[in-house]
Amino acid sequence: MNKKEKSTIRKLKNKKYEGFLLIIRGIETGIAAGLVCVLFRFLLSKAEEYLYTIIDAVKGRPLISALWICALAAIGILVALIIKKVPDSASSGIPQVTAEIRGRISPNWWKVILGKLFGSTVSVFSGLSLGREGPSVQFGAMAAKGAARITKADKTTELRMLSSGAGAGLAAAFNAPLAGVMFVLEEIYKTFDKAVLCMAIVACVVADFISKLFFGQDTVFSYQSETIPLRWYWLLVLFGIVCGLFGAFYNTFMIACRDLFAKIRKIPQWIKFACVFAVSGVVGLVLPQILCGGHSMAQILIQERPDLWIVLGLFAAKFLFGAFSFCSGAPGGTLYPMCILGAYGGAAFAQAAIALCGMDAALWQDFAVLGMAGLFASIVRAPVTGIILVFEITGNINTLLPLAAVSLISYAIADAVGSTPFYAALVDRITNGENAKAEEKKSEKVIKTYVIPTGSPADGKTISQLDWGKHSVIVSVERGETPITPKGDTLLQAGDVLVFMISQRRFAQSCKKIETMISETNKIQ
């Protein structure tokens, strides 16, 4: 047994100060993630402000408008060069974080922060339909990774900080700490780990506090709500089905467009980006409401209550321009634009229900909010995160039951039609691509826990009856509050927490092997 293995085992045995150390690491993570995300939110708000000022100045002046479009094309070329140097700064950022948690990639943390910070800011300044949430998740993760590297944390702690930092980034972006915690468990880490949960709670609360210090305590999406009468709950079922079907279509369409864009290899990437950014300039002159994340569209919906055909028109335009922006691979998120689509879809559904079924007209804004959660559940396939997120960004408890109903129905429908979760599909493309190179030099061991679910093939079998792979070993079995020293004849039960020591070199392959043994039901889909 080498020194690093002995060190890992000593850490497992020394549980006395674990809780205190997790809190300290959570604070470090929250501060690092919060500060970077606050800077990013500030830059994005200024970029969007300057964008609309410039559009107002150049509109109606053909020569200056042409110069503006040429300037955006030049910005696109610059962004393409940055992505060429730092490939992991492209696109949303959430799939990259998930891929790193799985051990498939290991980007340079400060290069990603700098590249993404510049790339996302100028992408929003150019008007692309991209949001701040995906990059904020990646910023939080990379800032946490930087803190771990600077403080020379071991690999297990680094992965926990990276996961917690991702949630802290979401918390800072949305002022939603609970959603950040659930996002870590449901979408990023995908298994229950008490240590990760503890660290994530602290990190998300700290990051949210820092964000509120700079941007105030107002909710992201403020509206006047009404309690939906029980006699209209049948509409929630219908709306959940609509959200589920559209979410499945959204995933298929977006991934197909992304793959099609990637297959156009004869055209250099810098030319592609120049064209994409130039088109964004044209769109900004014609229909500026659909630019950026969607704050302008949200204000229109809340303040003006547009007619059904205007709602449908803006919905279609935002969807197509959002797909165009996303498929380019430009740095920026899709979560907030997706929420705006959900809000407009909900508003359209409500207006149709008002006209056809006689539903109370005061309920239309409630359906706009329900649309956000419903679309989130069907696209991302993380219904609990969606429910909590929409609850936190609206600050309204009246819609909690309808949120749950629409989200769960939408989730079930999208899953039933066989739609691949959006970020899962993107992670597969990253891990199968050229950038899927993890660090191979280190031989440090990583600690990871798994819970045996009810119905697992591991339930009722001994440890020796299952093939866990050559590069992982069970070092502890936790049953309730009782730790069990694992032996070959140890009988496993549903609810047991298995603590594995995994070789970092084969981390991704080993995790996949373990998940197969425990069964896919262990992962929160």
Over the stretch 160-194, which tens digit does the pLDDT of each residue have? 999 999 999 999 999 999 999 999 998 887 777 88
What's the whole-number mean pLDDT along residues 7-17?
A: 58
Bigger pLDDT: 162 or 491?
Answer: 162
Q: Which CATH number fits domain 440-522: 1.10.3720.10, 3.30.70.1450, 3.90.1150.10, 3.40.1190.20?
A: 3.30.70.1450
Mean pLDDT of 221-227: 75
> What token pair was written down for 348?
């359209």
Q: What's the pLDDT score for residue 73?
A: 97
Distance from C-alpha of 473 to C-alpha of 484, rounded to nearest angstrom: 14
- Pick the range with the lowest mean pLDDT from 32-46, 89-103, 127-141, 405-419: 89-103
Tens of pLDDT along 382-438? 999 999 999 998 877 778 899 999 999 999 999 999 989 999 889 888 877 545 555
CB neighbourhood size of 148 (10 A) = 24
For 56, other C-beta atoms within 10 Å of its C-beta total 10
What is the CATH number assigned to the segment(s) 15-215? 1.10.3080.10
Nearest to 498 by CA among 477, 470, 467, 519: 477
Given a cut of 90, is residue 265 above it in pLDDT? no
Helical pair 18-58 and 133-150, crossing angle rounded to 10 deg: 140
**What pLDDT was estimated at residue 443?**
54
Please provide the size of the chain in residues: 525
Q: What is the pLDDT of residues 97-106, one digit of tens each?
A: 998 988 888 8
Please say if the pLDDT value at position 440 is more than 60.
no
Give residue limits of the domains in the chain: 15-215, 230-268+279-430, 440-522
C-alpha 97, offset from chain centre = 9
Q: What pLDDT was estimated at residue 464? A: 87
What pLDDT is recorded for position 241? Answer: 98
The two domains 230-268+279-430 and 440-522 share their CATH topology (first three levels equal): no
DSSP assignment of 468-521? --TTEEEEEEEETTEEE---TTPBP-TTPEEEEEEEGGGHHHHHHHHHHHH-GG
Domain 230-268+279-430 has CATH 3.90.550.10: no
pLDDT band for position 154 (50/70/90)?
A: confident
Cα distances (Å, whole numbers) of residue 487 to 228, 458, 475, 476: 56, 15, 9, 9
Instruction: Say what the pTM is.
Output: 0.88
